[in-house]
Amino acid sequence: MNAPAALLLGWKAPAVRELDRLGAAVTCVVEPAREVPDDTPARVVRCHDPADASAVVAALARADVDLRSFTHVLSAKEFPLVAAAVLAAAVRAHGMPLDTAVALRDKLVQKQRVRAAGVVTATTVPLRSPGDLDALTGSVVVKPVAGGGSHDTFVLRPGDAAAEHRARDVLRSGAPFVAETFVDGAELHADGVVRDGEVRLLTVARYLDNLIDVNDGGTVASVVEPAREEPALHRAVLDLTTRVLHAVGHRDGIFHLEAFETSAGLVFGECAGRAGGGAITHAFRLGTGTDLHRAWALAALGLPDTSAPPADAGTTVVGQGRLVAPPGATPPSTADVLARDGVLWAEVHPGPLAADPRTGSDVASGWAVVTAPDPAAARASLRSLGAWFVEAAR
Amino acid sequence: MTPATAGHVLVVGSKPGLTDSLRKAAVPALVVVGDGAAADRTVGPGVDVLPVTDPHDPGAVLAALARRPGTTVRGVAALDERSVVPAALLRSALGVPGTSPQVAIACRDKAVQKDAVRAAGLRVARAELVAPHEPHRVAAAVDACGGTVVVKPVDGVGAHLTTLARTTAQAGDAVARVHRAGRPALVEELVTGAEHHVDGWVGDGVVRFTSTARYRDNVLAVRSGAVVRSVLLPVEHPVQRAATTLAQDAVTALGLRTGVFHLEFFVEPDGGLVFSECGARPGGGFITQTVAARYGVDLRAVAVRLAVGEEVAAPTTVAEGSYGFTFLTADPGTVVRTPDTAAVLGLPGVLDVLLPFGPGQVVPDHRTSSGRRFGLALLTAPDDAALGERLDRTVEHVHRGTVVEAAP
């Protein structure tokens, strides 16, 4: 059999690395200004928008690359997911089924499918113009139909004039938004691997603060709850995850799912067909011994995943969190963070933050993974690490 | 090909007058229109629409179709330039026949297109691509193209960001403007012949119908204040025959086997034809209306019918007289008052008029792109000389009758 020829939309170094290790010839479509290491094994094609299928086809043609030469069209990133599926379908290459990509990317379609499968989730209504706000009742979460990183996502409560003003502003831009009924519960995320429609590996992590609180300076961090400590929670999340993945048709790959624990049980939030952001993949690897990028590449290429999780998989308590330096301050180095007690992994970008960290959960000076004897200690460790990071920044 | 008989044709690229074209096509159609604040107002009542966040994003269209269970799509028609590639991707993704993404790119991307046409032996301007990550190539590109060049986005529409550059420095500025818009730039040799367009359709690889027209001024002159105007050539005109040959050679080179096309070319002083560009869709402005006035055939309706595999016969009758259309102009600013459409229609020879701007709306400067204008008018007259006078009078009537408040 010839080596797979993979077209990867959007730059993701671990995805390129794992596809290459599995023997695929990788062509990666990246933005014009994207810095790509000189020694990348991928052929690089520059395109003004790797998430725009038409632009990708044109960029390939200009680079004299025949779209039909690819056996796989893939994306390991959120935004180009549908474009990859469109192109895969267009040339009959392997890739995520179009239906699945749409359901994973479009929050309205996703909620429609999940609700139809009997999963409890927030009611979602489209917002097309500022006038649609007048029909809303109760507290809602306003978010883009196809957003990411909690950007432009906020709670709109009755009588909150500032939030209403913000909602009218974002809707006047013409971008499509939705309003979801506000779920009063603690947010968690489930990450793992699904093959042949069966969840093969699952971790459940509780956020320290709900992600929506990022607007008000909430902590962006989570701690994996070992299955042995919370068997009922794990069973409930496994059941929810299985039903959601089935509803959206995501049978082979990795997933990152968010849900809320409420007094009435779990309420589904949303689900992505990629690795979670922040340091979630690192926490997953350190907690389970499994590299989600490897799992993604195996599934993407249709190769069997024969690796067995180590015997102690899931027994190490890990947590991951965002590190944020004060405005204008220079953060401590990666080595400084790694020298702190309990830190297993860290990565800090030198220099001040380019944006206000309250605008999105992915705006960070860096990320870290910690370990501790139990989840409560891990939570305390993450909060203490975040506070130290602020103080140590100059 | 055996056409499917049930289901909709998905129409991408909504246009004023589309409702009438769809009625003529007599094929069940689902028109992709903008959603939210960008909602499209050009489709009349009674037309089935698919509201989409971005009508030119195939992923968004497929998501919207997913939210509308029970819809069967049996063809996809592209009615404007930006829809050509998305429509091809939709065809492939939905498994319906028609122009493929590879052919669509050859019809859409000016660099790929010129390479293909040049390789087939047609006369075409020299052109060099300058990608955003290689701005240092401008000087070499200008040299390769003969010094005086035209700079444009490689996927530009309607002369937007298209600039005549007489020096390397001017070309560098123009290329930087294109790059700032996120696009690769094409640096092209300036062709000085008279600009024409030939419109028609191809079925099973054979050009079935053509209608040729000459622009009064080359479209690039819009940037210097010229008003886009086009007049059909007489059926027996030698350029009409040469244009049909050029169109056949070009669509063959591009691989376009079935569909409507709009091809622009230059006629040089020696009478030779130089290929400029070819779109796999009906021409813009009032080209569809002008062709319909003389030949009784609606090119948008033809595009819709071809999209579902119907055979379309070429028209056999030709109306007498001269036909042409013009852009209508107003000074840039906020509209206070517009002329009465009925009064414009009452002017000599006016067959159709479009005045989409109402009081309070802002008129852009038409010099920034050939696709932006205050309005359109289609006229007829017994001969070209009379038609020219009538076109002038109509433009002047609308310009004088429009009151705008200039921006401070």
Q: Do A145 and B89 touch (CB under 8 A)?
A: no
Q: Provide the pLDDT for residue B369.
A: 56
- Give per-residue pLDDT as tens, B174-200: 999 998 887 889 999 999 899 999 999
- Give per-residue pLDDT as tens, A150-192: 678 888 988 888 888 888 888 877 677 889 999 999 999 999 9
Least confident span in A34-38, A87-91, B40-44: B40-44
Q: Do B112 and A109 touch (CB under 8 A)?
A: no
Q: Is residue A86 within 8 angstroms of chain B, CB to CB? A: yes
Residue A6, judged by CB atoms within 10 A of its CB (0-12, 13-18, 19+), counts as buried
Between CA B113 and CA B94 the distance in angstroms is 26
Nearest-Cα residue of chain A relative to residue B112: A62
The β-bridge partners of B202 are: B207, B259
Confidence of residue B41 (pLDDT cuts 50, 70, 90): low
Least confident span in A205-209, B37-41, B46-50, B99-103: B37-41
For A46-56, b where at least 16 C-beta lie within 10 A, e where not — what string? bbbbbbbbbbb
**Residue A34 pLDDT more than 80?**
yes
Judge whether B375 and B353 are in contact, CB under 8 Å: yes
Residues of B (150-209) whose Cβ lies below 8 Å from A: 154-155, 179, 182-184
- Give per-residue pLDDT as tens, B301-326: 999 999 999 999 999 989 999 999 99
The residue-averaged pLDDT of B54-67 equals: 86
Question: Which residues of B fall within a CB distance of 8 Å from A131?
Answer: none
Interface ipTM: 0.79
Q: Provide the pLDDT for residue A217.
A: 87
Q: Provide the pLDDT for residue A355.
A: 87
Nearest-Cα residue of chain A relative to residue B186: A62
Question: Which residues of A fall within a CB distance of 8 Å from B89?
Answer: 53-54, 57, 86-87, 90
Q: Do B109 and A173 touch (CB under 8 A)?
A: no
- Measured between CB atoms, which of B57, B63, B108 is closest to A58? B108
The residue-averaged pLDDT of A111-125 equals: 92
DSSP string of A66-85, one letter each residue: -GGG-SEEE-SSSTTHHHHH
CA distances A129 to A57, A106, A165, A177, B198, Å, are 33, 18, 13, 9, 41
Please name the amino acid found at residue A128.
R
Q: Provide the pLDDT for residue B37.
A: 43
- Measured between CB atoms, which of A32, A91, A112 is closest to B67? A112
**Residue A310 pLDDT more than 80?**
no
N-to-C CA span, chain A: 56
Going edge to edge, which strands form the sheet with A177-181?
A: A124-127, A177-181, A140-144, A154-156
Residue closest to A57 by CA, chosen among B104, B94, B261:
B104
Confidence of residue B368 (pLDDT cuts 50, 70, 90): low
Confidence of residue B244 (pLDDT cuts 50, 70, 90): very high
Question: Which residues of A fall within a CB distance of 8 Å from B86?
Answer: 53-54
Nearest-Cα residue of chain A relative to residue B115: A62
Q: Is residue A8 within 8 angstroms of chain B, CB to CB? A: no
**Residue B2 pLDDT more than 60?**
no
Question: Which residues of B fall within a CB distance of 8 Å from A90?
Answer: 88-89, 92-93, 101
Judge whether B269 and B193 are in contact, CB under 8 Å: yes
Q: Do B102 and A108 touch (CB under 8 A)?
A: no
- Give per-residue pLDDT as tens, A229-273: 899 999 999 999 999 999 999 999 999 999 999 999 999 999 999
Q: Which of B35, B91, B107, B110 to mutate to test the interface with A (most CBs of A within 10 A)?
A: B35
pTM score of the predicted model? 0.83
**Residue A315 pLDDT more than 80?**
no
Between CA B104 and CA B109 the distance in angstroms is 8
Q: Is residue B66 within 8 angstroms of chain A, CB to CB? A: yes
Least confident span in A266-280, A344-358, B84-98, B149-163: B149-163
- Give per-residue pLDDT as tens, B122-145: 999 999 989 888 888 999 999 999
Q: Provide the pLDDT for residue B209.
A: 97
Give me B7's structure tokens.
Answer: 């289901």
Judge whether B168 and B139 are in contact, CB under 8 Å: yes
Between CA B344 and CA A78 the distance in angstroms is 52
Give me B362's structure tokens.
Answer: 């802002």
User: Helix or strand or coil: residue B46?
Assistant: coil
Q: Token match 């831009």: residue?
A: A173
Question: Which residues of A fall within a CB distance of 8 Å from B157?
Answer: none
Between CA B218 and CA B229 the distance in angstroms is 9
Smallest Cα distance from B140 to chain A, Å: 18
Confidence of residue A333 (pLDDT cuts 50, 70, 90): very high
* Chain A to chain B Cβ contacts (< 8 Å): 117
Q: Do B155 and A58 touch (CB under 8 A)?
A: yes
Q: Do A89 and B92 touch (CB under 8 A)?
A: yes
Smallest Cα distance from A223 to chain B, Å: 34
**Residue B1 pLDDT more than 60?**
no
DSSP string of A218-234, one letter each residue: ---EEEE--TTT-HHHH
**Residue B258 pLDDT more than 90?**
yes
The β-bridge partners of A188 are: A206, A259
The residue-averaged pLDDT of B59-68 equals: 84
With the C-alpha atoms ordered A235, A259, A112, A72, is the resulting torsion angle positive or negative? negative
- Kindly state the percentage of chain B with pLDDT values over 70: 94
Q: pLDDT higher for B273 or B3?
A: B273
Q: Provide the pLDDT for residue B3.
A: 42
The beta strands (E) that lie in chain A are given as 5-9, 25-30, 43-46, 72-74, 124-127, 140-144, 154-156, 177-181, 186-195, 198-207, 221-224, 253-262, 265-272, 318-323, 343-348, 366-371
User: Helix or strand or coil: residue B301?
Assistant: helix
Nearest-Cα residue of chain A relative to residue B107: A58
Q: Provide the pLDDT for residue B300.
A: 97
Q: Do B35 and A176 touch (CB under 8 A)?
A: yes
**What mean pLDDT is reported for chain B?**
90
Question: Which residues of A fall within a CB distance of 8 Å from B38?
Answer: 174
Q: Token match 């007058």: residue?
A: B17
- Give per-residue pLDDT as tens, B79-114: 999 999 999 999 998 999 999 999 999 999 989 999
